Amino acid sequence: MVTQEALQDCFLEAGRRYGYDDVMAEFAQYRDFKVRWQRSYRWARFKVSDYLEDAPEKVVRDLAQSLFRRIVGDGDDGYTENVRAWVTSEGFREAKQQIYLRRSRSLTRSPVGDHQNIRDAYESLIAQGLVDNDPEIYLSWSKDADPGNVVRCSVLMKVVALSSLLDGKDVPGCVVEYCLYHELCHIAIGFDPTSEKHERSYDELEKRYPRRAEARQWMARHCLRIRGVSPRR
Ligand SMILES: [Zn+2]
């Protein structure tokens, strides 16, 4: 358990190593695992995801160290191995998925929509040999209705949420499948804060969905998009 005081100490100690004397750090209840900071050349303020509250102290020390390295421009290696190992561990997801879901207010917490069932799409992807059945994946509809971003996921929490815009009776099954598959590819590739979101290895995996072109054409006609994906790619 890392107390507020221990968090502050870890960050102050790391800061001193990089010439920062005025350092403050506190836990924040973000939905996603992240750290935000503000700084000048002499002070730094951090808000650290409270998902790290029960991490071993060395994980928090490493985090502080890697953030100061980034701040002073001494390399951007994402997080250290200790931090990555902790946030990608089975126990982490098990303990935090429920908290994440509680903080995800827009989720209906069910894969069964008015017209479409995301669970059916998932089973179809499994039957096509495109994904392995993973009982830890959590599927839900979301009340978000942003046509520019019809699907989102948390790789760490293994949660995929599809916008209610895809829950229409005229939405072809391949569109729901494709959007779900797109996010499952992110989860399959795993947590990597330093990589581009849709790099080449990602594209190759994603292009395995056989009705991709058909799904994307339908989406383009209806002005629905997955964030970060150009309609022409
Ligand atoms: Zn994506």
pLDDT band at 201 (very low <50, low <70, confident <90, very high): confident
Average pLDDT rounded to a whole number, residues 181-193: 89
| pLDDT value of position 190 | 87
Distance 173 CA to ligand 1 centre (A): 19
Cut 0.85: pTM above it: yes
Distance 149 CA to ligand 1 centre (A): 10
Q: Assess whether pLDDT exceeds 70 at residue 196.
A: no
Distance 199 CA to ligand 1 centre (A): 10
Tens-digit pLDDT profile for residues 94-132: 999 999 999 999 999 999 999 999 999 999 999 999 999
| pLDDT value of position 120 | 98
Distance 226 CA to ligand 1 centre (A): 7
DSSP H or E segment with residue 36: strand 35-39
Distance 72 CA to ligand 1 centre (A): 30
Distance 188 CA to ligand 1 centre (A): 12
| pLDDT value of position 194 | 65
| pLDDT value of position 90 | 86
Tens-digit pLDDT profile for residues 34-69: 999 999 988 999 999 999 999 999 999 999 999 999
Tens-digit pLDDT profile for residues 68-87: 999 988 876 678 889 999 99
Distance 28 CA to ligand 1 centre (A): 26
Q: Which has the closest alpha carbon to 135: 123, 147, 153?
A: 123
| Half-sphere CA count of 202, side-chain side, radius 13 A | 19
Contact present, 33 and 155 (Cβ < 8 Å): no
Distance 132 CA to ligand 1 centre (A): 19
